[in-house]
Amino acid sequence: MDQREKEIFKVTWMGFFTNLTLSAGKVAAGFWGRSNAMVADGIHSASDLITDVVVLVFVKLSGKPQDKCHDYGHGKYETLATVIIGLALLAVGAGIIWKSGAAIYASFSGTVIARPEMIALWAAAVSIICKEWLFHYTIRAGKAVNSPVTIANAWHHRSDSFSSIGALLGIGGARFLGPRWRVLDPLAAIIVGGLIIRIACKLIKNSLSELMETSLSDKEEEEILSIICQDPAISDPHHLKTRRIGAQIAIEIHIRLDDSMAVSTAHEISTGVERRLKEQYGKATQVIVHVEPLKLAQ
């Protein structure tokens, strides 16, 4: 296991045990504290356990070396894991909205929503502190090792923090503002569910874009061309093709060199292009350089 995998596994295991403790505590506090919002928040934390397992399994798969059937490696496994996390978030958000909507409908039909207890309020406060810390810890690690799935998992932690903030506001309003305001508990949960769905859609969109072999942004491709053109011997870089493979990127480029140039010199120049791109985007970057004689362009 390389250093990158070790760091991803370390931060994911930290999230796993934190989520295990929080989910059990929040569901218990929700039942004892008579708060639907806190029960939903606890279920949301439990969903984090599932995504943590997804990360642990798929990052291990994506770290496998190239083989006969996977010439470009297994980086797409990490992208697929990000899609699964997004779908899990989508399901959780929809479930929260559905359950909370049912509670609001029941209250307008005459059902009195129970007054939440203080234990539910304290559970929400503790959850916000823990999940915000876990979000910052995880996203720093994800950016440091350039792992999209770890960054996605960090946002899952942040969504749980949003969920707890909504629960805190709803529980507080329902407890201290009187029976008429107890509808704030499920209402806050609906708002949080919408935020969770928004994050889920963003993660799914970005990951599906990668799975569909979408090119890098114009800004990134312009940067690639500027790196290639640092060697004055290179003319007319064209037919640039780019794509992401998990945490890695693949680059294919055609360049023109003086047709009288020795093959060894041309090889040295193309190797220089490859070296500079890997220095910029990481040693795992896959670079293909096609050399063409300059006279064909005249």
Contact in structure between 188 and 159 (CB atoms under 8 Å): no
Q: Tell me the DSSP string of 9-77.
A: HHHHHHHHHHHHHHHHHHHHHHHHTT-HHHHHHHHHHHHHHHHHHHHHHHHHHHTSPPBTTBTT-STHH
Residues 6 or more apart whose Cβ sits within 8 Å of residue 141:
7, 8, 10, 11, 147, 150
**CB of 124 closer than 8 Å to CB of 40:** no
Q: The domain 3-211: what is its CATH number?
A: 1.20.1510.10
CA dist list (Å): 142 to 1, 59, 87, 100, 101? 17, 12, 20, 33, 35
**pTM for this structure?**
0.62
Three-point CA angle 64, 86, 133, nearest 5°? 90
Burial of 178 (0-12, 13-18, 19+ CB in 10 A): exposed
Residues 6+ apart with CB under 8 A from 22: 42, 45, 126, 127, 130, 131, 160
Burial 132-161 (b: 16+ CB within 10 A, else e): bebbebbbebbeebbbbbbbbbbbbbbbbb
What integer pLDDT is reported at residue 224 of this predicted model? 93
Question: What's the confidence (pLDDT) of residue 125?
Answer: 92
pLDDT at 254: 94
User: Each residue of 199-233: pLDDT tens digit?
Assistant: 788 888 877 876 766 778 888 899 999 999 999 89
Hey, what CATH topology would domain 218-297 get?
A: Alpha-Beta Plaits (3.30.70)
Q: Are 200 and 87 in contact (CB under 8 A)?
A: yes
The domain ranges of the chain are 3-211, 218-297
- Spell out the per-residue pLDDT of the chain, length 298, in tens: 567 778 877 888 888 888 889 889 998 998 898 887 788 788 777 766 766 676 667 666 666 666 666 556 556 677 777 788 788 888 888 988 888 888 888 888 877 777 888 999 999 999 999 989 999 999 998 888 877 778 887 887 887 787 788 888 888 988 898 888 888 888 877 887 887 788 788 888 877 876 766 778 888 899 999 999 999 899 889 999 998 776 678 899 999 998 888 999 999 999 999 999 988 887 778 898 999 888 654 4
Q: Which pLDDT value is given to residue 277?
A: 92
- Pull the structure tokens for residue 231: 């060697």
pLDDT at 63: 61
